[in-house]
């Protein structure tokens, strides 16, 4: 199971904001601390705000911070909401010429859906608090940004 680059950026954003002593940060500050382009972090902040994980204040002294109770949010539940993919394998347009010839009698998609759900279920008992740093001594700088594949 591979997380999307967007989900990775969302998790990094949450982890930075959950670092003890961090407080409120702008999207630019988050982007600089995790080595991710600003526009990716801005989209992540917007989505996390929509999900109720972050509180965002606009304006000169604005920024993002974790919402009350965000640290108790289930990691599995968060990943389900962030992962917009419908299937692990895209069978609908495998070569841009025609649909997969096995699509009428294939059980692989159902098996992969079950595997993905088992992955999320294994993360359900964990919370955001469980993946966050215990102290502010561990900087996030230098994390490699995931490669984003171009859609063809």
Helices (H), ranges, 18-139: 27-34, 38-50, 75-82, 108-123, 128-131
Q: In the 3-class helix/strand/coil scheme, how is 112-136 assigned residue by residue?
A: HHHHHHHHHHHHCCCEHHHHCCCCC
Cα–Cα distance, 61 to 52 (Å, whole number): 21
Cα–Cα distance, 142 to 74 (Å, whole number): 27
* pLDDT, tens digit, 9 for 90 and up, residues 38-49: 999 999 999 999
64 and 30 in contact (C-beta within 8 Å)?
yes
* pLDDT, tens digit, 9 for 90 and up, residues 54-98: 999 988 888 999 999 999 999 999 999 998 776 666 666 555 556
Cα–Cα distance, 11 to 36 (Å, whole number): 12
Cα–Cα distance, 24 to 29 (Å, whole number): 10
Mean pLDDT of the chain: 82
């Amino acid at each position: 199971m591979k997380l999307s680059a967007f989900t990775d950026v969302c998790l990094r954003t949450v982890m930075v904001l959950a670092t003890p002593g961090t407080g409120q940060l702008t999207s630019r500050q988050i982007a600089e601390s995790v080595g991710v382009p600003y526009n990716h972090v801005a989209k992540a902040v917007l989505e996390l705000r929509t999900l109720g994980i972050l509180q965002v204040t606009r304006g000169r002294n604005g920024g993002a911070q974790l919402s009350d109770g965000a640290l108790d949010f289930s990691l599995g539940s968060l990943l389900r909401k962030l992962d917009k993919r419908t299937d692990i394998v895209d069978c609908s347009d495998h070569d841009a010429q025609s649909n997969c010839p096995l699509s009428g009698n294939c059980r692989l998609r159902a098996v992969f859906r079950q595997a993905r759900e088992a992955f999320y279920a294994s993360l359900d008992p964990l919370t955001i608090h469980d993946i966050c740093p215990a102290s502010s001594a561990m900087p996030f700088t230098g994390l490699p940004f995931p490669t984003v594949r171009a859609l063809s």
